[in-house]
Amino acid sequence: MNRSVVIGAVLVLVAAATAWQLRSPGWGLSEAEVIAAERRGRQVFLSSCAPCHRGESDLPGQDELQSDYSTREIAATLDKPPAGMAVFTGTDAERRDLLVFLNGG
Residue list 33-72, contact with ligand HEC (CB under 6 A): 48-49, 51-53, 59-60, 65, 69
Q: Which amino acid is at 82?
A: P
The sign of the dihedral angle between the CA atoms of 13, 35, 37, 23 is: positive
**Of 13, 36, 12, residue with least CA distance to 24:** 36
The site for ligand HEC, by CB under 6 A, has a size of 18
Nearest-approach distance from CB 82 to ligand HEC, in angstroms: 4
Among the listed residues 3, 28, 63, 84, the single contact to ligand HEC using CB under 6 A: 84
CB 48 within 8 A of CB 77: no
Nearest-approach distance from CB 36 to ligand HEC, in angstroms: 19
Closer residue to ligand HEC in complex, CB, 24/97: 97
Nearest-approach distance from CB 63 to ligand HEC, in angstroms: 13
CB 81 within 8 A of CB 87: yes
CB 103 within 8 A of CB 38: yes
Binding site for ligand HEC (CB under 6 A): 48-49, 51-53, 59-60, 65, 69, 73-74, 77, 82, 84-86, 88, 98
